[in-house]
């Protein structure tokens, strides 16, 4: 009889315990996101300034945006069981990140066009190639883990953050192609062209965030 009561009590606590476990896992993912993107951003910006690579500098600035988003998500997860604070944090974060994306798109557009007009060739950047290659591997794994947590806790904000991590994967691949073409074949124009390819992708994300569209209907999965 006593064992049955204990088992019944455990079953009642199960869903809440599981939710708390997934929330803790989500926090760990956001801590990793913040630390990784801090390192990624510093390396990218320094290497980009040294090599004169606008796409590499732009990638580093995007890392700073990822840190901003990750920090906001971390704060939001700490208030997972307070719906009012969670909702207000989500909307404020979307607007901040949206403005950051628009500013980044304008910066890359201006700098890329200027380089193409002036025919300024960036130098080869081995650190840039390495960090882009690592991100191409790391970011998809991180995005998948975030989506799993988002599904388990039914979090639109977490799903939106996983989409931003997917977005970082796309930028990493574009950046890697541009840097490799410049390093292997001396195609100096590949770097600013790669940067220009980033512009509409970044702008679309920024506009979506400003309109308050954190994710598609997929985030409502259970």
Domains of the chain: 2-216 (1.20.1510)
Query: Based on C-alpha coordinates, what's the Rg of the chain?
Result: 20
- Residue range 152-205, pLDDT digits in tens: 887 777 887 888 788 788 888 888 888 888 888 888 888 788 878 878 988 887
Residue 38 exposed, middle or buried by CB count within 10 Å (0-12, 13-18, 19+): middle
How far is the C-alpha of 218 from the C-alpha of 198, rounded, in Å? 24
Which token pair is 219? 């985030």
Contact by Cβ (8 Å): 48, 59? yes
Is residue 6 predicted with pLDDT exceeding 70? no
The pLDDT, as a whole number, for residue 140 is: 95
Per-residue model confidence as pLDDT tens digits over 35-86: 999 999 999 999 999 988 888 888 898 888 888 878 888 887 877 667 677 6
How far apart (Å, rounded) are the C-alpha atoms in residues 211 and 161?
A: 16
- Structure tokens belonging to residue 120: 């300024």
Using the predicted structure, report yes or no on whether residue 1 has a pLDDT greater than 50: no
Would the pLDDT of 212 be above 50? yes
Rounded Cα gap, residues 28 and 12, in angstroms:
26
Contact 44, 56 (CB under 8 A): yes
Highest mean pLDDT among 96-105, 142-151, 191-200 belongs to 142-151
Predicted confidence at residue 81, as pLDDT, reads 67
* pLDDT value at residue 218: 46
pLDDT digits (tens, 9 = 90+) for 9-47: 434 445 566 878 888 888 999 999 999 999 999 999 999
Residue 213: predicted pLDDT: 60
Extract the tokens encoding 163. Answer: 């989409």
Burial state string for 182-200 with b = 16 or more CB within 10 A and e = fewer than 16: bbeeeebbbbbbbbbbbbe
Least confident segment among 76-90, 93-107, 119-133: 76-90
Q: How far apart are CA 180 and CA 193, in angstroms?
A: 13
Taking the CB of residue 145, how many other CB atoms lie within 10 A of it?
A: 17
pLDDT band at 2 (very low <50, low <70, confident <90, very high): very low
> What is the pLDDT, as a whole number, of residue 10?
37
Contacts of 210 (CB under 8 A, 6+ apart): 94, 95, 98, 99, 102
């Amino acid at each position: 009889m006593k064992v049955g009561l204990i088992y019944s009590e455990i079953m009642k606590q199960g869903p809440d315990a599981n939710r708390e476990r997934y929330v803790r896992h989500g926090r760990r993912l956001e801590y990793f996101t913040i630390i990784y993107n801090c390192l990624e951003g510093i390396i990218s910006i320094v290497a980009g300034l040294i090599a004169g690579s606008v796409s590499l500098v732009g990638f580093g600035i995007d890392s700073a945006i990822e840190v901003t988003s990750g920090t906001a998500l971390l704060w939001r997860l700490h208030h997972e069981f307070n719906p009012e604070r969670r909702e207000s944090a989500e909307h404020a974060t979307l607007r901040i990140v949206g403005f950051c994306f628009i500013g980044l798109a304008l910066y890359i557009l201006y700098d890329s066009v200027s380089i193409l007009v002036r025919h300024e060739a960036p130098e080869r950047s081995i650190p840039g190639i390495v960090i882009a290659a690592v991100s191409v591997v790391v970011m998809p794994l991180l995005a998948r883990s975030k989506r799993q947590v988002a599904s388990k806790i039914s979090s639109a904000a977490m799903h939106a953050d996983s989409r931003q991590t997917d977005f970082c994967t796309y930028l990493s691949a574009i950046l890697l192609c541009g840097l490799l073409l410049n390093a292997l074949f001396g195609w100096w124009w590949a770097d600013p062209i790669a940067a220009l390819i980033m512009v509409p992708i970044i702008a679309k994300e920024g506009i979506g965030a400003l309109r308050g569209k954190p994710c598609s209907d997929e985030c409502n999965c259970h």
